[in-house]
Amino acid sequence: MKRTLPLVLIVACLAAAGCGGTGAGAGVPVTTGDEVAVKAGSSAGTQGGSGVQALPRFRGTVVTGRDAVRSKVRSSWRRGCPVGPVELRLLRVDYWGFDKRVHQGELIVHRDHARRILVVLGKLFRARYPIQRLKLVDAYGADDHRSMAANNTSGFNCRRVSGTSRWSEHAFGGAIDLNPLRNPYVTRGGRVSPPAGRPYVNRARRAAGMVHANDAVVRAFAAAGWRWGGSWSGSKDYQHFSSTGR
Ligand SMILES: [Zn+2]
């Protein structure tokens, strides 16, 4: 009996695709993104039968450190904003890109929402919901139009609701815009923002990254108490999820 044990262990190691350090052996499913290499995890059995291959494990953190946020919001925050950098949290998370690879991105939300949004992003990852870009709006000079045109997913941005003097929910770190070009904001009068999102006003489409009523994305946010702008009456903000529902 003693002699059979090592053999069993070796087989188990091969099956787990990760025994003994780097583990990038021949035939082992390793997914490599542009920014990170993710080793296949042992989570295949928990994915609701979505495939026989082991899926990479989601990795996400709330970045700690007194100045973790301050240096990241030089353009998107200024004095007079409704919340300060100390109330915001930087999330660094894995996500599936449109290229079907795992990438790592960043998102800023209010500290009260950080943990539950991390859970939401984990659910989106496991559902393989693709995100084209996940960069802070400072990468676009805090210009929402540029960020949207790049189909960039973002959270905090100290800005007003377009065309009003009212703070956007994004200014509180309580809102996220997902794949905004494929989930545009459409006013009652038919204005589309970003303009290049017009082909996606037709919500019968099923292009990658589009959000639809009751899909895995809407359900993940709903479980966190966040509501979707695509269910508003009148204007529709298909990219927008917020804690207040506004
Ligand atoms: Zn929004």
pLDDT digits (tens, 9 = 90+) for 70-126: 999 999 999 999 999 999 999 999 999 999 999 999 999 999 999 999 999 999 999
Instruction: Indicate the pLDDT class of residue 52, thresholds 50, 70 and 90.
Output: low
Instruction: Give me the mean pLDDT over the 30-56 stretch.
Output: 45
> In this predicted structure, what is the pLDDT of residue 53?
67
pLDDT digits (tens, 9 = 90+) for 114-169: 999 999 999 999 999 999 999 999 999 999 999 999 999 999 999 999 889 999 99
- The answer to whether the CB of 174 falls within 8 A of the CB of 242 is yes
Q: In angstroms, what is the span from residue 12 Cα to ligand 1's centroid?
A: 47
pLDDT digits (tens, 9 = 90+) for 186-201: 999 999 999 999 999 9
pLDDT reading at 13 higher than 60: no
The CB-based long-range contact list for 49-52 (8 Å cut-off, 24+ gap) reads 50/128
Lowest-pLDDT range, 2-16, 130-144, 197-211? 2-16
Provide the pairing of β-strand 240-242 with 192-193: unpaired
- The full set of domain ranges for the chain reads 29-44+55-242
The SS3 assignment for 203 reads coil
Phi, psi dihedral angles at 138 (to 5 degrees): -60, -25
CB atoms within 10 A of CB 79: 6
Q: In angstroms, what is the span from residue 169 Cα to ligand 1's centroid?
A: 7
Q: In angstroms, what is the span from residue 205 Cα to ligand 1's centroid?
A: 21
In one-letter notation, the amino acid at residue 192 is: V
Q: In angstroms, what is the span from residue 239 Cα to ligand 1's centroid?
A: 6
In DSSP terms, 236 is beta-bridged to 186
Phi, psi dihedral angles at 40 (to 5 degrees): -60, 135
- The answer to whether the CB of 95 falls within 8 A of the CB of 134 is yes
